[in-house]
Amino acid sequence: MLKIIQIPVLTDNYIYLLHDTISGETAAVDPAVAEPVLQVLKQRGWQLTYIFNTHHHGDHVGGNLELKQHTGCQIIGANADKHRIPAIDKTVEEGDVVKLGTHTAQVIATTGHTSGHIVYYFADNNALFCGDTLFVMGCGRLFEGSAEQLWQSLQKLKALPAETRVYCAHEYSEANARFALSVEPDNVALQQKMLFVQQQRAENLPTVPSTISDELATNPFLREDSPAIRATINAIANTSVEVFAKLRRLKDSF
Ligand code: ZN
Ligand code: FE
């Protein structure tokens, strides 16, 4: 079995600890900081085998060095980011797989938020660790890629099985839902999701993970072909990429 522990850190980051109960191997996905990870490892009696990084931003790699010092773990990240992921040991790219004991993740390249962004997809566990590419009802900002590149990347994630759980790296759902409702106010699934998000956040509970099927129903960045969204933002006759780019620009200044 693959155990997944969600650790909220900083203002709105999530670190994930993955533990294979058969081999005992453990991985941290995007450790923004080290101390909370070390605490969970100690509580559970686990040893850190790997760090899986999705991209080079500080709120995803900030704990790399300290965790490696304490645990001797091996750090895995994108080949394209090997010059800027601290203490990286092993580079991967699209088509590669990474192993965690008896479990295997496919590496999918998702350029857009950054040029080297990758995600880790555990098909057998229906779990996607997507960093800052896809959020609950949102997507990453375009720091190093074009709208077209991020749109292409999201098409790959859209094509994953509907039941895939989406473990993104930030709790941005409430702000994302507000924007989503502004462009698609009559979407009932979205209205219901907003209620769920507000209930969870009122109790300081996570709204992550969602699922690909939830995202297909509510996430405007996967719904650029929705006639209602296109009508709201005056983009009825535009291409999918153009509508996506316009949504991204609108969200940037929302
Ligand atoms: Zn980032
Ligand atoms: Fe981030």
Q: 83 catalytic, yes or no?
A: no
Tell me if 166 sits within 8 A of 203, measured CB to CB: no
DSSP state of 60: H
179's tokens: 């924007």
Give residue 60 CA to ligand 1 midpoint distance, Å: 7
Q: 132 catalytic, yes or no?
A: yes
Residues 6+ apart with CB under 8 A from 43: none
Q: What's the structural domain count of the chain?
A: 1
pLDDT, residue 142, reads: 98
Residue span of the structural domain in which 227 resides:
2-252
Q: 56 catalytic, yes or no?
A: no
Catalytic residue (one of 56, 60, 103, 117): 60
- Three-state SS annotation for 164-197: CEEEECECCHHHHHHHHHHHCCCCHHHHHHHHHH
Q: 57 catalytic, yes or no?
A: yes
Q: From the CA of 30, which ligand is nearest?
A: 2
pLDDT, residue 160, reads: 98
How many helices (H) and strands (E) in the chain?
9, 14
Give residue 25 CA to ligand 2 midpoint distance, Å: 25
Give residue 237 CA to ligand 1 midpoint distance, Å: 32
| CA-wise closest residue to 220 among 206, 232, 202 | 232
Q: 19 catalytic, yes or no?
A: no
Q: 103 catalytic, yes or no?
A: no
Catalytic residue (one of 19, 103, 113, 117): 113
Give residue 239 CA to ligand 1 midpoint distance, Å: 27
| CA-wise closest residue to 134 among 248, 36, 37 | 248
Q: 170 catalytic, yes or no?
A: yes
Give residue 186 CA to ligand 2 midpoint distance, Å: 30
pLDDT, residue 145, reads: 97
Type of residue numbered 101: G
- CATH number of the domain enclosing 208: 3.60.15.10
Per-residue pLDDT of the chain (254 residues; tens, 9 = 90+): 999 999 999 999 999 999 999 999 999 999 999 999 999 999 999 999 999 999 999 999 999 999 999 999 999 999 999 999 999 999 999 999 999 999 999 999 999 999 999 999 999 999 999 999 999 999 999 999 999 999 999 999 999 999 999 999 999 999 999 999 999 999 999 999 999 999 999 999 999 999 999 999 999 999 999 999 999 999 999 999 999 999 999 999 99
